[in-house]
Amino acid sequence: MTFRLAHLSDPHVGPLGRPRFSQLLGKRATGYANWRRGRSRSHDMGTLSLLVSDMRAQGAAHIACTGDLCNIGLPSEWATAQSFMGALGSPDAVSLVPGNHDAYVRGSLEGLLATCGAYTSDDSGTLAQFPYLRRRGPVALIGLSSAIPTKPFVASGRLGPPQLAAAETLLKALATEPTRLCRVVMIHHPPHPGGASPGRELKDSAAFAAMIGRAGAELILHGHNHVASLARLPGPGGRAVPVVGVPSASALAEGHGALPGRRAGYALYEIARAGEGFSIAAWRRGLDDTGIMADLGPLDLGLAAPLQAPA
């Protein structure tokens, strides 16, 4: 029996209402100016709706959303984000981790999680605590938050030592359970060193990579760069752990979105037990060069053999 998991990211849900002058102090002022100058035309809600409809038609058992529901972290965006998450599915069937735009200024992340926290609840029902764990079929979903408020023109993220330590403990514990689960880590920022340019990177990516080297994982999902990507991190024993990024789910088929790998798209995974480990088949769907949602082909995760959890 296979478990189908869908992954999308960076929907940047709109429209963005006109904020009050008092809401445009600090970083929001530059963010709103960027939105008006062109960012609003890079993210198309018709395209996002088409992608969500296509994704729901694929029959995924679960959907992972790796952040940036918001644009400049306005309170008015939290209800819009909640409506979008509701269109994806129920909190039991959709898992969310936040992105840097969700934590645009101090208080933004707390506001979003107060509205959409049900999508970050762990197996015990605890809301908005990172890392969180959700067991679904043969899969363990581990949600991390790299979302922190930053200065204008900075979009970096950070996990921090407490979250990294908790994630390592969780991943190691899952690897020793009698019924092993396929550990899928969700994070917004590319978590591997060099995964994003300076000012946009995960500040503690080296510490994250070292943690995965000790604890292992079967699959790591992220967004942030608005481009389809595939990297690998060494796990225990040198076994490669695939690190998969997806484009913005609302990127237009024209202009910026016409660049290779940047049109709106998402990834699908079929995960199944294989002996003492797991097999993972992956492929991408998204806008083709004619603007039609289509199968974009398989994604080679470079797994020469079924994944084995570390002893």
Report CA-CA distances (Å) from 26 to 22, 211, 248: 10, 35, 26
User: What are the structural domains of the chain?
Assistant: 3-303 (3.60.21.10)
Beta strands in 93-187 (DSSP E): 94-96, 132-136, 139-143, 182-186
Contact between 22 and 98 (Cβ < 8 Å):
no
Q: Residue-wise pLDDT tens for the chain (311 aa)?
A: 799 999 999 999 987 766 665 566 667 757 656 766 666 568 899 999 999 999 999 999 999 999 999 998 889 999 999 999 999 999 999 999 999 999 998 899 999 999 999 999 999 888 879 999 999 999 999 999 999 999 999 999 999 999 999 999 999 999 999 999 999 999 999 999 999 999 999 999 999 999 999 999 999 999 999 999 999 999 998 889 999 999 999 998 665 445 668 999 999 999 999 888 899 999 999 998 888 999 999 999 987 544 444 44
**Strand partners of residue 277:** 274, 308
**Does pTM top 0.85 for this prediction?**
yes
